[in-house]
Amino acid sequence: MALLEVKKLGISFGGLRAVDDFSISINKGELYGLIGPNGAGKTTIFNLLTGVYKPTDGSITLDGVNLTGRSTIEINKAGIARTFQNIRLFSNLSVLDNVKAALTNRYTYSTVTGIFRLPKYFSAEKAMNEEAMKLLSVFELDGEADTIAANLPYGKQRKLEIARALATSPKLLLLDEPAAGMNPNETAELMNTIRQVRDDFDMTVLLIEHDMSLVSGICERLSVLNFGQLLCEGKTAEVLSNPEVITAYLGE
C-alpha cells in the first residue's frame, strides 16, 4: 500500500493553471524525486501537500487519511514535514532551541506551569532536551547545540533544518532542493545523510532537486513535471534517459 497517494491534483491562480491533473504514488520507505525546469510547479506541489495552498481539485491521502484542504498544522500532525529551498531556521536561536521548537506540540504544559516553573515544566524541558540532543547527534551537530543557528556553516544549517523537521515525527519528509548552494563535497555528504535518515528513521522521502548527481545517486523513482503537468514517471535510470526529459529538463 502506498504511503502517499495524490490524484488529479490541480490549482489555479486567477486564470493561470499552475498545476494540472498531477498524480503520484509513493511507497513507504521510498526515496522519490520530483524534478523539472524552473517554474514547472514543483514547489507549488509541495505547498499543496503541506497546506500552504488549497487545491482547486484533486485529492491528497497520507497513510489512508484524506488530507485534502487541511491546514498546515493539521497536515504536519498527520505526518508530513518539510524543509525549504531557502533555509528557514530560527536564526537567532541556538541549534538546540531550533529543534526543541519543533517538539513543543508533543511536550505541553500550561502557562501557569511555565511561569511558576512547576515540576511538569522541568520534566518536559528535560525530555525535550534529551530528544533534541539525540536528533542532533544523528547529524553530528550535538557538539554545536549552543551555537546560534545563523553562525553555522551553510551545509550544517541544511542538516539542522532536516533535524528540526524530523523532530515532528513525520511519516513523509519533503526536501525542497536540499543541495542548493552546496559544493560537491557537501552534496556527497548530504546524499549519505538522506540515506541515513531513510534507514535510521524508517522514513519516506520526497525531494525536489536540480543536482542530477544527487537525484541519480539516491532516488529510486522519479516524476518529471513540466508546465504544471506530469511529463513522465518511473525508475530513475529510465526517466533520466527519456528523450522527452532530456529535451524539456536538461535542455538538450
Contact 175, 33 (CB under 8 A): no
Please identify, among 134, 168, 202, the residue that sits at the C-terminal boundary of a domain: 168
Query: What is the rounded CA–CA span in Å between residue 229 and residue 20?
Result: 5
Contact 241, 67 (CB under 8 A): no
28 within domain boundaries: yes
pTM of the model: 0.92
Q: Give the pLDDT of residue 89.
A: 96
Assign residue 210 the CATH number of its domain.
3.40.50.300
Of 13-17, 47-51, 156-160, the range with the lowest mean pLDDT is 13-17
Query: What is the rounded CA–CA span in Å between residue 128 and residue 144?
Result: 17
Digit-coded pLDDT (tens) for 70-102? 999 999 999 999 999 999 999 999 999 999 999
230 pLDDT higher than 60: yes
The pLDDT-based confidence of 28 (bands split at 50, 70, 90) is very high
Query: What is the rounded CA–CA span in Å between residue 176 and residue 167?
Result: 17
Q: State the total domains in the chain.
A: 2
Q: Give the pLDDT of residue 117.
A: 67
Please identify, among 168, 192, 220, the residue that sits at the C-terminal boundary of a domain: 168
Provide the residue range defining the domain that includes 75: 1-79+170-252
Q: Are residues 174 and 242 in the same domain?
A: yes
Q: Are residues 100 and 68 in the same domain?
A: no
85 within domain boundaries: no
Q: Give the pLDDT of residue 111.
A: 66
Q: Are residues 71 and 185 in the same domain?
A: yes
Digit-coded pLDDT (tens) for 198-215? 999 999 999 999 888 899
Q: Give the pLDDT of residue 247.
A: 73
Q: For the beta carbon of residue 136, count every other beta carbon within 10 angstroms.
A: 23
Q: Are residues 127 and 240 in the same domain?
A: no
Kindly state the percentage of the chain with pLDDT values over 70.
Answer: 92
252 pLDDT higher than 60: no
* C-alpha dihedral (208, 214, 216, 220), degrees to nearest 10: -60
